[in-house]
Chains A and B, each alone.
Chain A
Amino acid sequence: MESPLSQPGMKARVTVTLKTGILDPQGKAIEGALKSLGIAGVASVRQGKVFDIEVEGTDRARVEAALKDAADKLLANTVIENYRVEVLG
Protein backbone atom coordinates (compact mmCIF):
# COMPACT_ATOMS: atom_id res chain seq x y z
CA MET A 1 0.00 0.00 0.00
CA GLU A 2 1.26 3.45 -0.86
CA SER A 3 2.13 5.56 2.14
CA PRO A 4 -0.01 8.65 2.68
CA LEU A 5 3.11 10.52 3.79
CA SER A 6 4.29 13.33 1.55
CA GLN A 7 7.77 13.22 3.02
CA PRO A 8 9.96 10.58 4.71
CA GLY A 9 8.35 9.39 7.90
CA MET A 10 8.23 6.79 10.60
CA LYS A 11 5.76 4.22 11.80
CA ALA A 12 4.72 4.17 15.38
CA ARG A 13 2.33 2.35 17.64
CA VAL A 14 0.42 3.70 20.62
CA THR A 15 -1.01 1.05 22.92
CA VAL A 16 -3.71 2.08 25.39
CA THR A 17 -4.59 -0.20 28.30
CA LEU A 18 -6.90 0.10 31.29
CA LYS A 19 -5.26 0.93 34.59
CA THR A 20 -5.08 -1.74 37.24
CA GLY A 21 -8.20 -1.80 39.37
CA ILE A 22 -10.47 -0.29 36.70
CA LEU A 23 -13.34 -2.67 36.07
CA ASP A 24 -13.28 -3.99 32.49
CA PRO A 25 -16.64 -5.65 31.78
CA GLN A 26 -15.72 -6.20 28.11
CA GLY A 27 -12.51 -7.98 29.10
CA LYS A 28 -14.50 -10.07 31.58
CA ALA A 29 -17.00 -11.07 28.87
CA ILE A 30 -14.17 -12.07 26.53
CA GLU A 31 -12.50 -13.97 29.37
CA GLY A 32 -15.72 -15.89 29.95
CA ALA A 33 -16.04 -16.70 26.23
CA LEU A 34 -12.45 -17.93 26.04
CA LYS A 35 -13.04 -20.14 29.06
CA SER A 36 -16.22 -21.53 27.56
CA LEU A 37 -14.25 -22.34 24.39
CA GLY A 38 -11.97 -24.43 26.55
CA ILE A 39 -8.82 -22.41 25.77
CA ALA A 40 -6.35 -23.78 28.25
CA GLY A 41 -4.89 -21.67 31.01
CA VAL A 42 -6.71 -18.35 30.47
CA ALA A 43 -6.56 -16.62 33.83
CA SER A 44 -7.80 -13.13 32.96
CA VAL A 45 -8.36 -10.78 30.01
CA ARG A 46 -8.09 -6.99 29.86
CA GLN A 47 -9.13 -5.28 26.64
CA GLY A 48 -7.17 -2.34 25.24
CA LYS A 49 -6.63 -0.40 22.02
CA VAL A 50 -3.80 -0.21 19.48
CA PHE A 51 -3.22 2.79 17.19
CA ASP A 52 -0.81 2.33 14.27
CA ILE A 53 0.25 5.78 13.21
CA GLU A 54 2.41 7.01 10.36
CA VAL A 55 4.16 10.26 11.17
CA GLU A 56 6.06 12.68 8.99
CA GLY A 57 9.66 13.32 10.02
CA THR A 58 12.52 11.02 10.95
CA ASP A 59 13.60 12.54 14.24
CA ARG A 60 12.79 9.79 16.70
CA ALA A 61 12.62 12.00 19.77
CA ARG A 62 10.29 14.48 18.08
CA VAL A 63 8.01 11.75 16.79
CA GLU A 64 7.85 10.22 20.24
CA ALA A 65 7.10 13.59 21.85
CA ALA A 66 4.34 14.31 19.32
CA LEU A 67 2.70 10.95 19.95
CA LYS A 68 2.88 11.36 23.73
CA ASP A 69 1.10 14.66 23.21
CA ALA A 70 -1.50 12.87 21.04
CA ALA A 71 -2.01 10.21 23.69
CA ASP A 72 -2.35 12.73 26.52
CA LYS A 73 -4.76 14.95 24.58
CA LEU A 74 -6.94 12.36 22.87
CA LEU A 75 -5.94 8.72 22.43
CA ALA A 76 -6.01 7.85 26.13
CA ASN A 77 -8.17 9.05 29.00
CA THR A 78 -5.54 9.08 31.72
CA VAL A 79 -8.20 8.91 34.43
CA ILE A 80 -8.67 5.24 33.58
CA GLU A 81 -6.03 4.34 31.00
CA ASN A 82 -2.27 4.03 30.61
CA TYR A 83 -0.51 4.29 27.27
CA ARG A 84 2.77 3.25 25.70
CA VAL A 85 4.37 4.87 22.64
CA GLU A 86 6.68 2.78 20.45
CA VAL A 87 8.46 4.32 17.47
CA LEU A 88 8.94 1.41 15.10
CA GLY A 89 11.19 3.24 12.58
Chain B
Amino acid sequence: MKSAVVVFPGINRERDMARTLKLVSGTEPSMVWHADTALPAGTDLVVVPGGFSYGDYLRCGAIAARAPIMDAVRAHAGRGGLVLGVCNGFQILCESGLLPGVLMRNAALRFICKDVYLRVERSDTPFTRGYNAGQVIRVPLAHGEGNYVADSETVARLEGDGRVAFRYVAPDGKLDPRWNINGATNAIAGILSERGNVLGLMPHPENHVEGAIGPTDGRGLFAGLTQHFAKVA
Protein backbone atom coordinates (compact mmCIF):
# COMPACT_ATOMS: atom_id res chain seq x y z
CA MET B 1 0.00 0.00 0.00
CA LYS B 2 1.49 3.28 -1.12
CA SER B 3 0.27 6.01 1.17
CA ALA B 4 0.78 9.76 1.33
CA VAL B 5 0.30 11.86 4.46
CA VAL B 6 -0.61 15.49 3.80
CA VAL B 7 1.16 17.99 6.05
CA PHE B 8 -0.28 21.42 6.81
CA PRO B 9 1.19 24.06 9.11
CA GLY B 10 -0.17 23.38 12.59
CA ILE B 11 -0.76 19.67 12.04
CA ASN B 12 0.77 17.62 14.88
CA ARG B 13 -0.33 14.00 14.39
CA GLU B 14 1.37 13.38 11.06
CA ARG B 15 4.28 11.46 12.56
CA ASP B 16 2.03 9.21 14.65
CA MET B 17 0.14 8.48 11.44
CA ALA B 18 3.29 7.86 9.40
CA ARG B 19 4.68 5.56 12.10
CA THR B 20 1.46 3.53 12.16
CA LEU B 21 1.29 3.27 8.37
CA LYS B 22 4.88 2.00 8.26
CA LEU B 23 4.33 -0.36 11.20
CA VAL B 24 1.15 -1.96 9.87
CA SER B 25 1.56 -1.82 6.09
CA GLY B 26 5.33 -2.25 6.06
CA THR B 27 5.75 0.63 3.64
CA GLU B 28 6.98 4.09 4.57
CA PRO B 29 4.43 6.73 3.55
CA SER B 30 5.37 9.87 1.61
CA MET B 31 4.95 13.14 3.46
CA VAL B 32 3.34 15.67 1.13
CA TRP B 33 3.54 19.40 1.84
CA HIS B 34 0.35 21.48 1.66
CA ALA B 35 1.78 23.81 -0.99
CA ASP B 36 2.57 20.94 -3.37
CA THR B 37 0.19 20.53 -6.26
CA ALA B 38 0.55 16.81 -6.94
CA LEU B 39 0.56 13.54 -5.03
CA PRO B 40 3.42 11.06 -5.56
CA ALA B 41 2.72 8.86 -8.60
CA GLY B 42 0.93 5.64 -7.71
CA THR B 43 -0.47 6.85 -4.38
CA ASP B 44 -3.12 4.37 -3.17
CA LEU B 45 -4.20 6.06 0.03
CA VAL B 46 -4.12 9.74 1.01
CA VAL B 47 -4.23 10.46 4.73
CA VAL B 48 -5.14 13.85 6.16
CA PRO B 49 -3.91 13.68 9.77
CA GLY B 50 -4.97 15.42 12.96
CA GLY B 51 -3.73 18.57 14.62
CA PHE B 52 -4.59 22.22 14.47
CA SER B 53 -3.99 23.28 10.87
CA TYR B 54 -3.59 27.06 10.63
CA GLY B 55 -4.32 27.32 14.35
CA ASP B 56 -7.99 26.45 13.72
CA TYR B 57 -8.38 30.03 12.45
CA LEU B 58 -11.73 30.95 10.87
CA ARG B 59 -13.19 27.44 11.33
CA CYS B 60 -11.42 24.15 12.04
CA GLY B 61 -10.01 22.89 8.75
CA ALA B 62 -11.34 25.80 6.70
CA ILE B 63 -8.03 27.18 5.51
CA ALA B 64 -6.34 23.82 5.00
CA ALA B 65 -9.28 22.73 2.84
CA ARG B 66 -8.34 25.49 0.35
CA ALA B 67 -4.61 24.64 0.24
CA PRO B 68 -3.09 23.82 -3.18
CA ILE B 69 -2.61 20.10 -2.43
CA MET B 70 -6.33 19.67 -1.79
CA ASP B 71 -7.10 19.95 -5.52
CA ALA B 72 -4.91 16.89 -6.04
CA VAL B 73 -6.62 15.12 -3.11
CA ARG B 74 -10.05 15.91 -4.60
CA ALA B 75 -8.88 14.60 -8.00
CA HIS B 76 -7.57 11.40 -6.32
CA ALA B 77 -10.95 10.92 -4.61
CA GLY B 78 -12.71 11.71 -7.89
CA ARG B 79 -10.84 8.81 -9.52
CA GLY B 80 -12.09 6.54 -6.73
CA GLY B 81 -8.82 6.71 -4.77
CA LEU B 82 -9.02 6.21 -1.02
CA VAL B 83 -8.78 9.16 1.37
CA LEU B 84 -8.70 8.90 5.17
CA GLY B 85 -9.14 11.95 7.40
CA VAL B 86 -8.63 11.74 11.16
CA CYS B 87 -9.69 14.43 13.64
CA ASN B 88 -8.60 17.74 12.09
CA GLY B 89 -8.31 15.69 8.89
CA PHE B 90 -12.04 14.86 9.14
CA GLN B 91 -12.78 18.56 9.65
CA ILE B 92 -10.64 19.39 6.61
CA LEU B 93 -12.44 16.80 4.44
CA CYS B 94 -15.81 18.27 5.45
CA GLU B 95 -14.63 21.80 4.70
CA SER B 96 -13.22 20.67 1.35
CA GLY B 97 -16.53 19.22 0.23
CA LEU B 98 -15.26 15.62 0.13
CA LEU B 99 -17.58 14.72 3.00
CA PRO B 100 -20.91 16.32 3.94
CA GLY B 101 -21.69 18.17 7.16
CA VAL B 102 -19.50 19.95 9.66
CA LEU B 103 -17.83 19.36 13.04
CA MET B 104 -19.12 21.86 15.59
CA ARG B 105 -17.93 22.73 19.10
CA ASN B 106 -18.41 19.83 21.54
CA ALA B 107 -21.82 20.07 23.16
CA ALA B 108 -20.26 20.44 26.63
CA LEU B 109 -17.94 23.20 25.33
CA ARG B 110 -14.85 21.41 26.59
CA PHE B 111 -11.83 19.97 24.87
CA ILE B 112 -12.03 16.23 25.44
CA CYS B 113 -9.00 13.92 25.59
CA LYS B 114 -9.77 10.32 26.54
CA ASP B 115 -10.39 6.84 25.19
CA VAL B 116 -13.83 6.19 23.70
CA TYR B 117 -15.73 3.14 22.49
CA LEU B 118 -16.77 2.98 18.87
CA ARG B 119 -19.09 0.55 17.18
CA VAL B 120 -17.98 -0.45 13.70
CA GLU B 121 -21.21 -0.21 11.72
CA ARG B 122 -20.14 -2.23 8.68
CA SER B 123 -17.19 -4.35 7.67
CA ASP B 124 -17.62 -4.32 3.89
CA THR B 125 -15.53 -1.22 3.18
CA PRO B 126 -11.77 -0.98 2.53
CA PHE B 127 -11.46 1.00 5.78
CA THR B 128 -13.41 -1.36 8.04
CA ARG B 129 -12.77 -4.80 6.55
CA GLY B 130 -10.32 -5.48 9.38
CA TYR B 131 -13.26 -5.52 11.80
CA ASN B 132 -16.57 -7.31 12.16
CA ALA B 133 -19.80 -5.35 11.78
CA GLY B 134 -21.03 -4.48 15.26
CA GLN B 135 -17.58 -4.90 16.81
CA VAL B 136 -16.76 -2.42 19.59
CA ILE B 137 -13.28 -0.91 19.59
CA ARG B 138 -11.53 1.31 22.10
CA VAL B 139 -9.54 4.22 20.65
CA PRO B 140 -8.30 7.58 21.90
CA LEU B 141 -9.94 10.86 21.03
CA ALA B 142 -8.74 14.46 21.52
CA HIS B 143 -10.70 17.39 20.19
CA GLY B 144 -12.71 20.48 20.99
CA GLU B 145 -14.81 20.44 17.82
CA GLY B 146 -16.07 16.97 17.04
CA ASN B 147 -19.80 17.36 17.30
CA TYR B 148 -21.02 16.15 13.90
CA VAL B 149 -23.83 18.25 12.44
CA ALA B 150 -25.56 18.16 9.06
CA ASP B 151 -28.99 19.12 7.82
CA SER B 152 -31.70 16.52 8.37
CA GLU B 153 -31.82 15.40 4.72
CA THR B 154 -28.06 14.79 4.72
CA VAL B 155 -28.26 12.81 7.97
CA ALA B 156 -31.18 10.77 6.60
CA ARG B 157 -29.17 10.06 3.43
CA LEU B 158 -26.08 9.03 5.43
CA GLU B 159 -28.16 6.69 7.56
CA GLY B 160 -30.23 5.35 4.66
CA ASP B 161 -27.18 4.59 2.55
CA GLY B 162 -25.23 3.02 5.41
CA ARG B 163 -22.56 5.68 5.31
CA VAL B 164 -22.08 5.94 9.07
CA ALA B 165 -18.92 3.90 9.60
CA PHE B 166 -18.37 4.44 13.35
CA ARG B 167 -20.61 5.51 16.24
CA TYR B 168 -19.84 6.47 19.85
CA VAL B 169 -21.31 3.76 22.07
CA ALA B 170 -21.17 2.32 25.59
CA PRO B 171 -18.54 -0.41 26.16
CA ASP B 172 -21.23 -3.05 25.50
CA GLY B 173 -21.93 -1.56 22.05
CA LYS B 174 -25.28 0.01 22.91
CA LEU B 175 -26.17 3.56 21.97
CA ASP B 176 -26.31 5.71 25.08
CA PRO B 177 -26.38 9.51 25.22
CA ARG B 178 -23.92 9.40 28.13
CA TRP B 179 -21.32 7.78 25.87
CA ASN B 180 -21.94 10.12 22.92
CA ILE B 181 -19.00 12.11 24.11
CA ASN B 182 -19.28 15.28 22.04
CA GLY B 183 -23.02 15.37 21.38
CA ALA B 184 -22.71 14.36 17.72
CA THR B 185 -25.89 13.88 15.71
CA ASN B 186 -26.90 10.18 15.97
CA ALA B 187 -23.62 9.59 17.86
CA ILE B 188 -21.77 9.76 14.54
CA ALA B 189 -18.00 9.37 14.95
CA GLY B 190 -17.08 8.63 11.33
CA ILE B 191 -18.72 8.77 7.91
CA LEU B 192 -18.07 7.59 4.37
CA SER B 193 -18.45 9.49 1.13
CA GLU B 194 -21.18 8.57 -1.33
CA ARG B 195 -18.87 6.17 -3.20
CA GLY B 196 -17.41 4.84 0.04
CA ASN B 197 -13.84 5.78 -0.87
CA VAL B 198 -13.43 8.68 1.59
CA LEU B 199 -13.61 8.12 5.35
CA GLY B 200 -13.48 10.81 8.02
CA LEU B 201 -13.50 10.07 11.74
CA MET B 202 -12.79 12.10 14.87
CA PRO B 203 -11.01 9.51 17.08
CA HIS B 204 -7.40 8.43 16.52
CA PRO B 205 -7.10 4.73 15.59
CA GLU B 206 -3.44 5.37 14.68
CA ASN B 207 -2.64 5.80 18.38
CA HIS B 208 -3.85 2.35 19.43
CA VAL B 209 -1.72 0.01 17.36
CA GLU B 210 1.10 -1.14 19.62
CA GLY B 211 0.68 -3.48 22.58
CA ALA B 212 3.58 -1.87 24.42
CA ILE B 213 1.60 1.34 24.86
CA GLY B 214 -1.94 0.09 25.28
CA PRO B 215 -4.82 -1.48 23.37
CA THR B 216 -4.34 -2.28 19.69
CA ASP B 217 -7.92 -1.82 18.50
CA GLY B 218 -6.92 0.83 15.97
CA ARG B 219 -4.74 -1.60 14.09
CA GLY B 220 -7.66 -3.19 12.23
CA LEU B 221 -8.29 -0.08 10.19
CA PHE B 222 -4.74 0.01 8.81
CA ALA B 223 -4.47 -3.78 8.50
CA GLY B 224 -7.73 -3.80 6.54
CA LEU B 225 -6.49 -1.09 4.19
CA THR B 226 -3.24 -3.00 3.66
CA GLN B 227 -5.18 -6.17 2.84
CA HIS B 228 -7.42 -4.23 0.48
CA PHE B 229 -4.49 -3.05 -1.58
CA ALA B 230 -2.70 -6.39 -1.39
CA LYS B 231 -5.80 -7.93 -2.96
CA VAL B 232 -6.18 -5.20 -5.58
CA ALA B 233 -2.52 -5.46 -6.61
> Chain B 58-70 against A: per-residue CB contact (8 Å), 1 yes, 0 no?
1100110010000
For the residues of A in contact with B, the DSSP-based class is helix
How many A residues touch B, CB cutoff 8 Å? 11
* A23:B62 contact, CB within 8 angstroms: no
Interface magnitude class on chain B: 10 to 19
* A75:B58 contact, CB within 8 angstroms: yes
Q: Is B171 an interface residue (CB 8 A)?
A: no
Q: Is A22 an interface residue (CB 8 A)?
A: yes
With known contacts A23-B107, A29-B109, A74–B58 Cβ distance under 8 A: yes
* B59:A77 contact, CB within 8 angstroms: yes
> Chain B 92-105 against A: per-residue CB contact (8 Å), 1 yes, 0 no?
00010000111011
Q: Which of B131-151 contact A (CB under 8 A)?
A: 149-151
* B149:A77 contact, CB within 8 angstroms: no
Q: A64 to nearest B CB, angstroms? A: 21
* A74:B62 contact, CB within 8 angstroms: yes
- In-complex Cβ contact of B150 among A74, A75, A79 (8 A): A79
* Complex: chain A residue closest to B185, CB-CB: A23
* A79:B58 contact, CB within 8 angstroms: no
* B62:A77 contact, CB within 8 angstroms: yes
Q: Is A25 an interface residue (CB 8 A)?
A: yes
A-B contact pairs, 18 of them (CB 8 A): A22-B104, A22-B149, A23-B104, A23-B149, A25-B105, A25-B107, A26-B105, A29-B109, A73-B66, A74-B58, A74-B62, A74-B63, A77-B62, A77-B95, A79-B101, A79-B150, A80-B102, A80-B149
The 5 lowest CB-CB distance pairs between A and B, nearest first, are: A79-B102, A25-B109, A25-B105, A80-B102, A77-B102
Where the two chains meet, the residues of A that have a C-beta atom closer than 8 Å to any C-beta of B are 22-23, 25-26, 29, 73-75, 77, 79-80
